[in-house]
Structure 1
């Protein structure tokens, strides 16, 4: 059983870079969560009210499918994603619903141009009251030293 694993969702590469760095610090492998139907640039255009991402985020019951992941047994899941409209992408909820998180801890890290991560954490806690969520961290400009310090505070 691995002490910690890193899973991330990233469309532009920003979250991926931080996930890879975090995995390196945790001495594990970063695993990419991918949508079964990949997002195009048009899907992510927030200025277009009918874009796929806008439609999904506005529909709290939306559950985009993901490509299945082979995950080892773990104690703590570090889960990374971009913040969309103040919340995690709905794909994150689909992923969490697929896991048995009994006795596990989920630590969230996010990237965002302007949103703080607390609203997303509150939303996930509301939908998954049985899950023990650790603190959430916005990691846009976090250095390796800052991430290592954050990891130490979680133990």
Structure 2
């Protein structure tokens, strides 16, 4: 069996719940991508042009610092989960990707979103990191019954 890591960023707890469910139900390792400075509700107000998340997402080169990184060398597959922000992955996902060596790994991403799909997120990440092996992504809205098949077979 492939060794699988579920790495996730969650600002409100939704992605955390999905990531934990996938990891616990399938025996995968779990790693939380945590910002050094946690996001507040005001930081996440996408209607406010001066909110922290809006400022970060408008600067594609910005990399929010993360508390910890990890050695991913023992994993064949790294699954990265996140909420969709501005139709793509939050820039903290770039921070994580750039902090670990994903060369030669199978990388799958999942998102949590009320309506935005995953394809644009995957395309953006593939374009930003063409040397990495991104596979088809998936959006979860609660039911993770297809997670194991998606991770291990697709």
1:59 matched to 2:71? no
Q: Deviations over 1:126-147 (max 9, x none)?
A: 110010011110011324x232
Q: What is the SS of the residue equivalent to 1:122?
A: helix
The structural deviation recorded for 1:22 is 1.1
Q: Which runs of 5+ in 2 are unaligned?
A: none
Please give the alpha-carbon distance, in whole angstroms, between the structure 2 residues aligned to 1:25 and 1:62: 35
Query: Could you say what the CA RMSD is over the residues aligned between the two structures, in angstroms?
Result: 1.5
The number of residues matched between the two structures is 152
* Equivalent in the alignment of 1:23: 23
TM-score, scaled relative to structure 1: 0.91
The runs of at least 4 consecutive aligned structure 1 residues that moved more than 3 Å come to none
Q: Assess if the C-alpha contact under 8 Å between 1:15 and 1:81 holds in 2.
A: yes
Q: Assess if the C-alpha contact under 8 Å between 1:107 and 1:135 holds in 2.
A: yes
Q: Deviations over 1:80-116 (max 9, x none)?
A: 0000010100000011011111111111011012211
The structural deviation recorded for 1:153 is 3.2
TM-score, scaled relative to structure 2: 0.92
Q: Which runs of 5+ in 1 are unaligned?
A: none
